[in-house]
Structure 1
Amino acid sequence: MKSISTPSPLPWPLPRAMPGWLPGGGGQDIEAAGFSSGAALILLHLALQVEALPDALLRERLSLRAAQLGAAMTGRREQAAEIRDEIMLLRPGDTPGPAGALLLDWRRATSRPVRLMTLAKLPTDRAAREATPVGRAARALEAAIAEAPKAETAALIRADAELARAMGWQHVVPILGASLSGRALRQSGADLLLRCHIAVRQGAGEAYRQAQELTRAAQALRAVAPRLRSRASAQAVELFLSRDAVSPGGTLSGLMSDRAARRFCDRLVELGVARELTGRSTFRLYGI
């Protein structure tokens, strides 16, 4: 976990957005789509190296997006806020519903270092060895769907893990999982590869946008951290920097009393460095 005491002196030393000349939709041939996805991955790769980026929080936010998309593939209509509530309001011993279980699957996958994950071996022919990261991810996805056609989330996790390994990232970042449609999963070969290139351009662009926003929000939170008087404030700030949502009565319960936790969260909102996520008067959740 990155220390809150050593932020980067330059919060976002990269372009503010993906270049407008990079196409992000359909109607492309595979060469143009491959160029766009490759350029987007390069920028995202640089973004993931920014010291001030709260990378664990970014992965949690993208996992929530992937869970919402995965739920939609099964005909469910839960939105991100509903899926977040489902997990955050679970009581000990409770079992999450299908959408909540998808979120937990993604969180488990993104919290483990890629080097500790067991990934299926891809074909070792010349084409496989020379494949781009997106090509390797598409091959892994196609193989996983062939083995278990209804296990879409597991296949997408496997594909994003292969993409992360090919990019040299330490953790899985939900890119395909947060952008590839269920219809695309029924494609194969060159058709699937094209869909993956387009999805990676979109998914990497969204990840880049969120990385920039979260880096600036994290810098703002770090800047006010010395003004927080709670003895547990440093640990609480670390939780805000690594969790999609924080509950005063749950996430912070091991650090301070419920009343102190509510005051702490409300203080962050007053300072403009956190926001309340639910709009409720009770069972409130907070995040940056």
Structure 2
Amino acid sequence: MTYTASSFDTLPCTPGWVTSGRAENPEDVAFRSGAALSHLHLVLAQPDVPQDLLRARLVLRAAEVSITHMGRPERAADLRDAVAFLQPGDNPGPAGEVYLSWQRAVERTVSVKAVHRALPEVEADQIATWLDAGQGAPVARAAAVLQAVIEKRPRDHTATLLLADAALAQALGWSHVLPLLALGLKRTDHRTTGEELRIACHGVIAAAAVEVTREATDLARRAARLKEVAPKLRAKGADEAVALLLSRDAVAPTALTSLRSGRAARRFCDRLVELGPVRELTGRDTFRLYGV
């Protein structure tokens, strides 16, 4: 299948000197994290990057890290199942609650209110105090928030990572939280403070920014493919269904309510798998999930 050209083909690649070699001192680590963040900022500004889908994909990974830090066994497939088939009144379980917290954190413009919606057990005034805890450059501010939250809630890994990434997003002037620290901060990093913690944050952010840049480029390409085949989908409600697929990590056919029926939705998803831009994510014959 031939796909039409799109500006994702010209998305700038991360400079090789950012990813090659190993930073030998704190100055090098900080320089590389700044360069990687600057490059990521340029990539995120590209119109072909599906912002909602990118955040949804990163949220799944951030939730998986949070769950791992809690010592729980659930992984990405379990988290998808815990949330995708929820009915009103259902209990998603501890792992599902963590995943939902991350989803709520990125759904709205970053603010105290948005973070409180994701972490309702934390007082809004306390969230505001923490988000104001850091001073200086973005990574230093995020590290200061991280340390402040760890001191008060040492076992609440979800709140710690979420608030640190919220502080980073605010400092960078981004409209929404984008998980970065949550992708790579280790449990042992939570036991460090001061300069050691800042250096760890610089290293994690540098690696995560490069990783997210690759993910954004890949999703831009996948989204372009889906938009190209969309006109071939003559089902009523196809446009709304495509829009949903471009905003979520995983979609159950039952969520595609714009289509005529559950059977029509399943046929629609299977057709997209045949055409190439969508994947079936579970490997099951029933209760399937689909994603770009």
Amino acid at match of 1:122: D
Q: Tell whether the 8 Å contact from 2:102 to 2:162 is kept in structure 1 after alignment.
A: yes
Q: TM-score, normalised by structure 1?
A: 0.90
1:264 paired residue number: 268
2:106 paired residue number: 110
2:86 paired residue number: 90
Q: 1:254 to 1:220 in 2, by over 3 A?
A: closer
Q: Tell whether the 8 Å contact from 2:237 to 2:259 is kept in structure 1 after alignment.
A: yes
Q: 1:194 to 1:50 in 2, by over 3 A?
A: same
Amino acid at match of 2:8: P
Q: Tell whether the 8 Å contact from 2:279 to 2:290 is kept in structure 1 after alignment.
A: yes
Tell me the CA shift for residue 236 of structure 1. 0.4
Residues 92-123 of structure 1 deviation map (CA, whole Å, 9 limit, x = unaligned): 32111222111111110011101454643535
2:189 paired residue number: 184
Q: 1:123 to 1:24 in 2, by over 3 A?
A: farther
1:4 paired residue number: none
Q: Aligned partners of 2:162, 2:21: CA distance in 1, in Å?
A: 23
Q: Secondary structure at the match of 2:33?
A: helix
Q: Secondary structure at the match of 1:183?
A: helix
Tell me the CA shift for residue 192 of structure 1. 0.4
RMSD: 2.0
1:221 paired residue number: 226
2:51 paired residue number: 55
Q: Tell whether the 8 Å contact from 2:237 to 2:258 is kept in structure 1 after alignment.
A: no
Q: Tell whether the 8 Å contact from 2:49 to 2:220 is kept in structure 1 after alignment.
A: yes
Q: 1:137 to 1:122 in 2, by over 3 A?
A: same
Q: Aligned partners of 1:40, 1:263: CA distance in 2, in Å?
A: 42
Amino acid at match of 1:165: Q
1:3 paired residue number: none
Amino acid at match of 1:203: A
Q: Report how many aligned residue pairs link the two structures.
A: 275
The equivalent position to 1:283 in structure 2, one of 274, 282, 287, is 287
Amino-acid identity (%)? 48
Q: Tell whether the 8 Å contact from 1:157 to 1:174 is kept in structure 2 after alignment.
A: yes
Q: Tell whether the 8 Å contact from 2:133 to 2:145 is kept in structure 1 after alignment.
A: no
Unaligned runs of 5+ in 1: 1-6
Q: Aligned partners of 1:37, 1:29: CA distance in 2, in Å?
A: 13
User: Of the two structures, which has the highest relative contact order with CA contacts closer than 8 Å and spacing of 6 or more?
Assistant: 1
Q: Aligned partners of 1:219, 1:211: CA distance in 2, in Å?
A: 12
Q: 1:44 to 1:262 in 2, by over 3 A?
A: same
Q: Tell whether the 8 Å contact from 2:67 to 2:95 is kept in structure 1 after alignment.
A: yes
Aligned runs of 1:14-163 on 2, under 5 Å?
14-16=11-13, 18-23=14-19, 28-115=24-111, 117=114, 119-120=128-129, 121-122=131-132, 128=135, 131-163=136-168
Residues 130-153 of structure 1 deviation map (CA, whole Å, 9 limit, x = unaligned): x22111110111111112111121
Q: Aligned partners of 2:33, 2:102: CA distance in 1, in Å?
A: 22
Q: 1:235 to 1:178 in 2, by over 3 A?
A: same
Residues 137-181 of structure 1 deviation map (CA, whole Å, 9 limit, x = unaligned): 101111111121111211211111111111111100000112111
Q: Aligned partners of 2:63, 2:96: CA distance in 1, in Å?
A: 8
Q: Tell whether the 8 Å contact from 2:23 to 2:29 is kept in structure 1 after alignment.
A: no
Q: Tell whether the 8 Å contact from 1:145 to 1:185 is kept in structure 2 after alignment.
A: yes
The equivalent position to 1:274 in structure 2, one of 262, 275, 278, is 278
Q: Aligned partners of 2:258, 2:88: CA distance in 1, in Å?
A: 15
Residues 157-208 of structure 1 deviation map (CA, whole Å, 9 limit, x = unaligned): 1111111111111100000112111110111100100110011012112211
Q: 1:8 to 1:169 in 2, by over 3 A?
A: farther
Residue 13 (structure 2) pairs with residue 13 (structure 1): no
Residues 59-92 of structure 1 deviation map (CA, whole Å, 9 limit, x = unaligned): 1111110111111111112221121111113333
Q: 1:123 to 1:95 in 2, by over 3 A?
A: closer
Unaligned runs of 5+ in 2: 115-126
The equivalent position to 1:172 in structure 2, one of 173, 177, 180, is 177
Q: Aligned partners of 1:123, 1:93: CA distance in 2, in Å?
A: 37
Tell me the CA shift for residue 264 of structure 1. 0.5
Q: Tell whether the 8 Å contact from 2:280 to 2:290 is kept in structure 1 after alignment.
A: yes
Q: Tell whether the 8 Å contact from 1:12 to 1:215 is kept in structure 2 after alignment.
A: no
Tell me whether 37-46 or 81-90 shows the greater mean CA deviation.
Answer: 81-90
